[in-house]
């Protein structure tokens, strides 16, 4: 085996019977995520709709930094993660949401809001952050 040339090179012999390379597969279709529409619809759940609106208002409560992502999409993603982590619109869900709205509006911590708006802090991470 030592000293013999390799004739079974997988990389150099990858072709179909017609001689075309099997690597010429169509490129993968990118997943398109629609903005402002959460994975689970909020329609019909007044509590969730109101909570998402509170988050949108908190995200829009000041100057919008350069590179700002869509506040409606961010709010929907934050609300979705809160809803999932609290398994519904429980009292803890509502308290957690109020805390996040307060923190986004906090004049003493403008960097938090800016980091969420620009994607430095992912909305799903922001939803479950602790002090």
Long-range contacts, stretch 48-54, CB < 8 angstroms, 24+ apart: 48/79, 48/83, 48/89, 51/79, 51/82, 51/89, 51/93, 51/94, 51/97, 52/76, 52/79, 54/97, 54/101
The answer to whether residue 61 is domain-embedded is yes
The answer to whether residue 102 is domain-embedded is yes
The answer to whether residue 15 is domain-embedded is no
The answer to whether residue 14 is domain-embedded is no
Domain count, the chain: 1
Does position 118 have pLDDT exceeding 60, yes or no? yes
Model confidence band, residue 37 (pLDDT cutoffs 50, 70, 90): very low
Model confidence band, residue 45 (pLDDT cutoffs 50, 70, 90): confident
Residues 72, 83 contacting (CB under 8 angstroms) = no
The answer to whether residue 99 is domain-embedded is yes
Q: Which residues pair with 15 in a beta bridge?
A: 21
Model confidence band, residue 22 (pLDDT cutoffs 50, 70, 90): very low
Average pLDDT (90-100) is 97
Average pLDDT (48-56) is 97
Domain holding 58, by residue range, is 46-128
């Amino acid at each position: 085996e030592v000293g013999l040339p390799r004739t079974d090179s997988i990389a150099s012999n990858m072709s179909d019977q017609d001689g075309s390379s099997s690597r010429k597969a169509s490129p993968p279709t990118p997943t398109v995520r629609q903005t402002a529409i959460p994975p689970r619809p909020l329609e019909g759940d007044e509590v969730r709709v109101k909570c998402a609106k509170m988050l949108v208002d908190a995200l829009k409560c000041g100057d919008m930094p350069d590179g700002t992502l869509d506040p409606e999409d961010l709010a929907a993603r934050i609300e979705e993660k809160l809803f999932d982590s609290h398994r519904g619109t429980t009292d803890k869900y509502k308290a957690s949401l109020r805390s996040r709205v307060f923190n986004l509006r906090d004049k003493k911590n403008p960097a938090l809001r800016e980091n969420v708006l620009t994607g430095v802090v992912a909305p799903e991470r922001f939803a479950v952050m602790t002090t």
